[in-house]
Amino acid sequence: MTEIYYYTVLEKEKDWRLDRWFKRQYPSIQHSYLEKLFRTGQIRVEGKRIRGNYKLIPGQKIRIPPFIKDMNNGPKKNSETRVYPKELLKTIKENVLYCDDDILVLNKPSGIAVQGGSKLSYHIDMMLDELKFGLHEKPKLVHRLDKDTSGVLVLARNIQVASYLGNLFQTHTITKNYWAFIHGVPNQLKGNLSWSLTKKFVDQIKEKVTVDIEGDYADTYYEVIENIGKKFSWIILKPLTGRTHQLRVHCAAMGHPIIGDNKYGHDKFMLSEPFVKKLYLHARSISFIHPISKKEIKIQAPLPDYMVQLWNFFGLNDQLDYEI
């Protein structure tokens, strides 16, 4: 049976024309052929026929015809018919931090991707039908967390709120705080990391983000909360821009990679037993103006168990209510 593929529009793709989105994802597709797919309804957004000049809204689902899936490049595709472990869905449902008629907030576990990819068997995007919690419409993704990063993940429960939240993320008017455990102690206990970043291929296979003066501007504010001698530091990070792997690359660039980061760090920055070899980066809190009540809402995500274990070992307060 031929599978239908769907792609969830991200906040950075707000107001992109649909035809230009397809040309960017599938450079080899001819414009005349693309227009035919629009006319015949084989490409749809939220199940509706649209024209190529349609402007995208974060959280919307783009239907990608199955015969396009083998074209070069293209977005990472995920079949909505794939099966995921029931225990995983149970874990996700047990990690709801906030839910009202408009917004759903999860405490995403480390190791679970938000959206699909060629090497991923399951992800949160394919579970959205099970996260309606009484509504007819499934929630919409409006931002992402790295697969290995745990913590606050916000979803919109309707298209209007998805557009609102997408705009907040795009204009950086949402405040996000991350906790991280890093190697060493920065010379300055607080400050800004303002290195521009770009994506490059390593060994022509693996894609990594690197510091590049000609790359996209990226800015992170940080403060050291507590240090463990000269060996480790517990820091709080506030991204002021939203680049891919920004926090991980900025920490590594200042010479203090996040513990457990085997992509931008080194084996010597991995913890030994009994500590879990995972990334010690957690989206701790988020605050923004609610789209309906217009009141500020602040949500905190408790640390995952493996990070609590480390905090307890060093006598750190994992319940600390501290934001920047």
For residue 139, CA distances in Å to 17, 128, 233, 324 come to 23, 6, 37, 29
Interatomic CA distance for residues 188 and 180, integer angstroms:
16
Task: Point out the catalytic residue in the list 125, 146, 148, 261.
Answer: 146
Q: What is the dihedral of CA 184, 190, 193, 194, to 10 degrees?
A: -160
Q: Is 146 a catalytic residue?
A: yes
Paired tokens of 93: 């449902």
Interatomic CA distance for residues 141 and 125, integer angstroms:
7
For residue 53, CA distances in Å to 27, 36, 110 come to 17, 14, 38
- Do 129 and 138 touch, CB atoms closer than 8 A? yes
| 61: phi then psi, degrees, rounded to nearest 5 | -105, 125
Interatomic CA distance for residues 74 and 324, integer angstroms:
38
Centroid of chain to Cα 4: 24
Question: Which stretch of DSSP H or E encloses residue 127?
Answer: none
Burial class (CB within 10 angstroms; exposed 0-12, middle 13-18, buried 19+) of 273 = exposed
For residue 79, CA distances in Å to 119, 138, 144, 253 come to 13, 16, 19, 37
The catalytic residue positions are 146
